[in-house]
Chain A
Amino acid sequence: MSAGGPTSPGGARVEVVGLSAGYGRTPVLDSVRLTVEPGGWLAVIGPNGSGKSTLLRSVLGFHPHEGQVRVDGVPTSGMRRRERARSMAYAPQAPVLPDGVLTRDYVTLGRTPHRALLAAPRAVDREVVADVMDRLELGALAERRLSTLSGGEQQRAVLARALAQQPRVLFLDEPTAALDLGHAQQVLDLVDLLRRQDGLTVVSTLHDLTLAGQYADRLALLSDGRVVAEGTPADVLTAQALSTHYGARAQVVHGPSGPAVLPVRSAVP
């Protein structure tokens, strides 16, 4: 569990400049500008349909877009796909877990950008995979089929697959969407630990505002495809902002580990 082990190349600075994207003729994102410092955790929040997932998918280059994404100052548009895959890893909201595949084989897929596509995993690949699986406490599940794991274990396996890429930036699309509160906290604690140990940069979407406020060090509030607020959780999560952009009545409670959002029911008539 040492910091700076074989799985930690250190985090990178991510800059997004003037990013616009859409589906067909419908614009979804409008000149989004974001910066994430090395080792930082930016959570993108926003109401349903505000473009959170599209933002993540565009930054990663899966979705056609205008504007520029830079990793440590290098535009990703000029990178080859494998090169990009060595610096940016992605865990989607609803990962496809192929049938009949063993957990270790799945995690080993994370080594794809580091070896020739046709070649078998090498010793160094197996080493990194074993190390990542140890850190995420997946060792005992290595020979199990993915489909037989619990939801929390599957999410850890997806995380392990992403970490086996030895990325410098980890992109997580709603990492807690399928998890109950306890498992959600476990996964986010784990991400936070990895970030602190390895200096990994984390960019995630999170629809749970309290979890976003507690774990991320920066929040970006997306509304109608624009970043309408960016800053520390305490700056961004205000009752006013929640009312304006979510149409929600909520109280923001400030605790020692960050703000928590408490929904408030309107007065019963």
Chain B
Amino acid sequence: MTTTAPGTAGPATAPATRRRSWPALTGAALALVLALLAGVWVGALPLPPGAVVVTLLDRLVAPFGGSVPGGLEGTRAAVLLELRLPRVLLASLVGAGLAVSGAAYQGVFRNPLADPYLLGAAAGAGLGATVVIAWSPVQSVGPIGIVPLAAFVGALVGVGCAIALGTVAGGSHTPTLLLAGVAVAAFLAAGQTLVQQANTDDLRQIYGWLLGQLGNSQWSDVVLVLPYLVVSGTVLLLCGRALDVLAVGDDEASSLGVHPGRLRLVVILAASLATAAAVAVSGLIGFVGLVVPHIVRRLVGGSHARVLPMSLLVGGAFLVLADLVARVVLSPAELPIGVVTAFIGAPFFAGLLWAGARRR
């Protein structure tokens, strides 16, 4: 984190640099690239950094008929291209998706405790995954694994139920929607526990999924989530300025020409789609969606036009590094990545809170 200096000055001395988002964005993009490179360099089989870069360049120019000599050969090339690269890319996509969704949820609910799992996405995905792990006779539908598919559908069903219930009960009133989310999540989580306890043989696999994992990442997973994340991410980034307007309250947003209900629905749908896609391929990875937006706010201030793109980049870098730690610490065994995100994220966040309190 080399970008802490400009954004963290006290309120009275807040410099004009705070208003420029390019330095922070460039820094975050650089951090993401470095994290991605570190992610492919480090592992049970260390790969020489130079040769890794050459190999990647070679593959990049190959479609255009070019070639760069001196890359990795044989097993090492396979480890890089078939194991590490898809895993690292998937980690960055999942982290980016969860973080930008978390920032968006916190924005629409004007609630700093909101995270992407708030409206039942996690509970729905958990129920879906548990049901198919326990009972499904097939392992996949076409090229798509049955567990990601069920988790994706479950997450969308969970959020859909919460939105439907919240709308019926309270229109576009956000506290009602939050409570609807709590009710739906509790119900689905209870259902998940029920199915899980009835099928104790599958406990290990179910827990493995619930804790979040990127260990079996394949290119097909990357291809699976990419379209959803691109669409959702684009929509959310475009909504940044509108979310800044929504932040002043529904009445005032209306008086400024914005439709609060409509905007909220668009943002929630986009964020939920990103969350469902992320959850489908990685399970329930906690903390990223909650904490990354807060870290970002401390760097660039409260404007969503800046927080959303920064969350995307920082979230991606954060999860790649967390996955790296998960692979390395107990090598050759792996920690569940959800454990790592909380283990690194919580103290880091506590430190930020502490530093913030001392500044005031």
Interface residues of A (CB under 8 A from B): 57, 60-62, 81-86, 88-90, 92, 95-102, 105-106, 109-110, 112-113, 117-120, 143-145, 148, 165, 171
Contact = CB atoms under 8 A, between A and B. Distances in A.
B248 A85 contact: no
B46 interface: no
A102 B252 contact: no
Given A106-B248, A144-B11, 19 more contacts: A60-B255, A81-B257, A81-B259, A85-B256, A92-B252, A95-B248, A95-B249, A96-B247, A98-B248, A101-B244, A101-B247, A102-B19, A105-B244, A113-B257, A117-B245, A118-B238, A143-B16, A144-B14, A148-B11
A106 B256 CA distance: 12
A21 to B, nearest CB: 14
B251 interface: yes
Contact of A98 (B14, B19, B254, B302): B302
Nearest to B303: A105
B138 interface: no
A86 B255 CA distance: 9
Given A102-B18, A118-B241, A143-B14, A95 B303 contact: no
A105 B21 CA distance: 13
- Interface residues of B, dominant DSSP: helix
B313 to A, nearest CB: 19
A62 B255 contact: yes
B236 to A, nearest CB: 12
B241 A88 contact: no
A101 B303 contact: yes
Contacts of B244: 98, 101, 105, 109
Contact of B11 (A57, A90, A145): A145
B134 interface: no
B350 interface: no
A100 B297 contact: yes
B12 interface: yes
A82 B255 CA distance: 8
Interface in B170-186: none
Contacts of B165: none
A118 B239 CA distance: 7
A204 to B, nearest CB: 14
Contact of B256 (A97, A113, A171): A113
A117 B252 contact: no
Contact of A112 (B19, B110, B257): B257
Contacts, number: 93
Given A61-B254, A81-B254, A105-B303, A96 B249 contact: yes
Contacts of A143: 14-16, 18-19
Query: What interface size band does chain B fall in?
Result: 20 to 34
Contacts of B14: 102, 143-145
Interface in B289-307: 297, 301-303
Contacts of A148: 11-12
Interface string B218-246: 00000000000000000000100110110
Contact of B258 (A97, A99, A101, A117): A117
11 contacts: A62-B255, A86-B257, A90-B252, A92-B252, A95-B248, A98-B244, A102-B14, A110-B256, A112-B256, A113-B256, A148-B12
Given A101-B303, A144-B11, A89 B248 contact: no
Contact of B257 (A82, A92, A97): A82
Contacts of A82: 257
B109 to A, nearest CB: 13
Interface in B1-37: 11-12, 14-16, 18-19
Nearest to A109: B245
Nearest to B243: A98
A60 B254 CA distance: 9
B258 A112 contact: yes
A99 to B, nearest CB: 5
B303 A89 contact: no
Contacts of A98: 110, 244, 247-248, 302
Q: Which 7 A-B pairs have the closest CB atoms?
A: A100-B302, A85-B257, A82-B257, A113-B257, A90-B255, A98-B247, A96-B249
